[in-house]
Structure formats: structure tokens, C-alpha cells
Structure 1
Amino acid sequence: MELKEALRTTGAVREFTGEPVADEVLYEILDTARFAPSGGNRQGWRAIVVRDPGLRRELRDLYLPGWYDYLAMGRAGLVPWAPLTDREAERAALAGAPAIAAAADGTGFAERLHEVPALVVVLADLRALAAVDRDHDRYTLVGGASIYPFVWSLLLAAHDAGLGGVMTTMLVQREKEVRTLLGVPDEFAVGAVVALGHPVRRPTRLRRSEVAEFATVDRFDGPAVAP
């Protein structure tokens, strides 16, 4: 696949056919993704391919409460867990999560997480991240720059192999339980879970902001970058 096409067409896929992902295909995807950039080329990622049905169900069970909280905050017009937000409104919104959980019909991506053809937990070695904003008095962000390019490369490589997928960070909220469940050492953080498979349908018209809406010249309030 031509690179520009891949960058413009790799949308999130959450519905998969029942066709399994062959071991050799998953290996090739990981083998390609390992060339992702990272700070100092330290490659501080680890990947756990979760195959055991029992472990998959336990991951799903850990995933679901956060998912219903996410839906509750979204329905209240909030960006879930935004670093800058109205915490009082957030607390009020979360009171609606049990009702959302009770109404779930069990057919959504979250409820069927254990059934996705390939499930990869991506970890970050906290000893290998040059998090230059570590000591700021705000939410830290930079360490992910050495991990998430690997995740994006997984998704691009999967797309090139005819698969689809999505990255989710919901299980980071239950990191302690995930680490215990999968035997992860203390120096590793849960960075993401990547679900992969043969897509039921592939998004063809991705919606994104135009360049002029997010890129300016010289200052935040400078003129928009134009063609």
C-alpha cells in the first residue's frame, strides 16, 4: 500500500469477522512495527499477545466499568477524564454509569473484547522513557512519544496486511489489576491494548479537521497555515 494512502485510510476498526489472525501475520505485523522511532532508540515497549480465553475474559471484565463511565461522561457533554475539566460535572455524570451498564445488550466492542481475533497489550518500560515534562505541575505527556509510535506502526502494518484494528487505553485505568493478571513487573506501565482482526467493514471517509483549523504561523493566534 502506498504510504500516503495508508496514512489517510487507517481508521479505527472495532468490528471483526470470525476469521482468525494467522500467527505468521501477527508476527510480521510486530516485526514491521519494531522499526518505530523512540527516544534514544531505547525501544521501551513490550507486547503481550493475549490468547488464553480466561485471561481475555478477565481483561474484558476489567475494561467494562471504565467503558460505562466513559459513555456516561460523554453523554453529559464532557471529554472523559480530560486533564482540565469540570470535576463536579464529571462526578454527577458518573452517577449515570450503572444505568448504562444495565441497558447494555452485550453486543458492543467492549462487551465482546474477549472475542477479538488478536489482542495485544502494549507496555511501557518506565526506565526507558525520557519524559522531559516529568516534573511539570501539569499532566505529563511526553513519555508516550517513545511508545505510541510503535502502536501506530502496529495499526499501519495491520492495515497493510489487510486487517483492521483500534488502540484503546481504557485498561490503563485498571493498570494494577492488569499487571497482576499478566505478571507484569512494577517498572512497566500499561500503555494501550490493540485489537486486530479482519474488518467487517473498513472506514473509507475519515473525518478530520482541516489544516487551517489546527496549524498557525509563528504564534498560537497567528495566521493559519495555507497551501
Structure 2
Amino acid sequence: MDLIDALRSTGSVREFTDEPVDDAVLARILDTARFAPSGANAQAWRLVVVKDPQIRARLRDLYRQPWVEYLALTAAGLRPWSPVNDPAAETSALAARTGQAEQAAASGLAAHLDEVPVLLALFADLSQLAAVDRDLDRYSLAGGASVYPFAWSILLAARAEGIGGVLTTMLIREEDEVKQLLGAEGPLVLAAVIALGHPVRQVTRLTRQPVASFATIDRVDGAPFRTVKSD
């Protein structure tokens, strides 16, 4: 697949057919993804390919409550767990919307996480991350730059194989139990769970905001950087 086509058509896929993904295909995907960039080339990731049905079922069960909370917060007009949210507003939203959200969570990926053809747990090794914003008086982001490109490379490499997938961070809300379940110790922290499989529907066209909506010249409040019109 052409690189530009892959970049413009790799969307999140949450519904998969029953067709399995051969280990040889997964091995090719990971063999390509390992070339993702990381700070100092530390490759500060560990990946668990989860196959055991009991472990998968437990991960599904752990996924449910964070997803219910996500839906409840969204329904209340909040961006779930935004670092700038008012905690009292979140508490109120959860109290008012949880029942409705529980019904919505009874279907989709949350209800069938254990059935996806490939389930990957991605861990980051904190001892290998140069979190240059660690000491700032705000939410830390920089360390993820050495891990999440690897996750994205998995999804791009999967797309080239005709495989779809989605990166989800819901299970980070249950990190302690996930770590215990998967034998992750010490400085390893859960960065994401990635589900892969043959898509029920293959995404071919994505919708995104135009460049001028997010790129400006010289300053954040500068003139929009305008480009030639594109789809």
C-alpha cells in the first residue's frame, strides 16, 4: 500500500469478522513496527500478545467500568478526564449519567474485547523515558513521544496487511490489576491496549479538520497557514 494512502485511510476499527489473524501476519506487523522512532533509540516498550481466554475475559471485565464512565462524562458534555476538568463537575456527571451509560456499554468493543482476533497490551518502561516536562507544573506529555509512535506504527503496518485496529487507553484506569494480571513489574506502566482483526467494514475515507484550522504562522494566534485545497 502507498504510504500516503495508508496515512490518509488508517482509521479506528472496532468491529472485526471472526476470521483469525495468523501469527505470521502479526509477526510481520510487529517486525515492521519495531522501526518506530523513540528517544535515544531506547525502544522503551514491552508488548504482551494476550491469547489466554481467561486473561482476555478478565481484561474485558476490567474495561467495562472505565468505558461506562467515559460514556457518562461524554454525555454530560465533558471531555473525559481532561486535566483541566472541574472534579466536581465530573462527579456530578457520573452520578447523573452512569445508568444510561451502562446500557450503552453493553454492546460494541467493550462487551466483546475478549473476542477480538488479536489483543495486544503495550507497556512503557518509565526508566527509559526522557520526560523532559516532568518538573513542569502541568500534566506531563513528553515521555509518550517515545512509545506512542510504536503503537501507531503497529496500526499502519496492520493496514498494509489488510488488518484494521484501534488503540484504546481505557484499561489504564485499571492499571494495577492489569499489571498483576500480565506480570508487569517495576517501572513498566500500561500505555495502551491495541485490538486488531479483519474489519467488518474497511475504512477508505476519513474526515479531519483542514490544516488552516490548527496551523498558524509565527504565533498560536497568528494568521492561518493556508495550503492548497485537498480532500
What TM-score do you get using the length of structure 1 for normalisation?
0.97
Name the counterpart of 1:85: 85
Name the counterpart of 2:161: 161
Counterpart amino acid of residue 201 in structure 1 = R
- Structure 2 CA distance, aligned partners of 1:167 and 1:47? 13
Shift of 1:101: 5.2
Q: How many residues align?
A: 227
State the secondary structure of the residue aligned to 1:43.
coil
Shift of 1:105: 7.1
Counterpart amino acid of residue 195 in structure 1 = A
Counterpart amino acid of residue 203 in structure 1 = V
State the secondary structure of the residue aligned to 1:111.
helix
Q: Do residues 57 (structure 1) and 57 (structure 2) align?
A: yes
State the secondary structure of the residue aligned to 1:112.
helix
Instruction: Write the deviation string for residues 109-156 of structure 1: whole angstroms up to 9, x where unpaired.
Output: 111000000000000000110000011111000000000000000000
Name the counterpart of 1:69: 69
* Pairs within 5 Å for 1:186-197: 186-197=186-197
Q: Do residues 41 (structure 1) and 28 (structure 2) align?
A: no
- The alpha-carbon distance between structure 1 residues 77 and 42, as it changes in their structure 2 partners (threshold 3 A), is same
Regions of 4+ moved over 4 Å? none
Q: Do 1:32 and 1:157's aligned partners in 2 also have CA atoms closer than 8 Å?
A: yes
Shift of 1:174: 0.7
Q: Which runs of 5+ in 2 are unaligned?
A: none
Counterpart amino acid of residue 59 in structure 1 = L
- Structure 2 CA distance, aligned partners of 1:76 and 1:106? 19
Q: Do 1:6 and 1:159's aligned partners in 2 also have CA atoms closer than 8 Å?
A: yes
Name the counterpart of 1:222: 222
What TM-score do you get using the length of structure 2 for normalisation?
0.96
- The alpha-carbon distance between structure 1 residues 61 and 97, as it changes in their structure 2 partners (threshold 3 A), is farther
Q: Do 1:158 and 1:165's aligned partners in 2 also have CA atoms closer than 8 Å?
A: yes
Q: Among the aligned pairs, what percent are the same residue?
A: 58
Shift of 1:45: 0.5
Q: Which runs of 5+ in 1 are unaligned?
A: none
Instruction: Write the deviation string for residues 58-90 of structure 1: whole angstroms up to 9, x where unpaired.
Output: 001111000000000000011000011122211
Q: Do 1:106 and 1:112's aligned partners in 2 also have CA atoms closer than 8 Å?
A: no
- Structure 2 CA distance, aligned partners of 1:99 and 1:222? 45
State the secondary structure of the residue aligned to 1:195.
strand
Instruction: Write the deviation string for residues 5-51 of structure 1: whole angstroms up to 9, x where unpaired.
Output: 00000000000000001000001101000000000000001100000
Shift of 1:202: 1.7
Name the counterpart of 2:94: 94
- Structure 2 CA distance, aligned partners of 1:32 and 1:149? 12
- Structure 2 CA distance, aligned partners of 1:100 and 1:163? 33
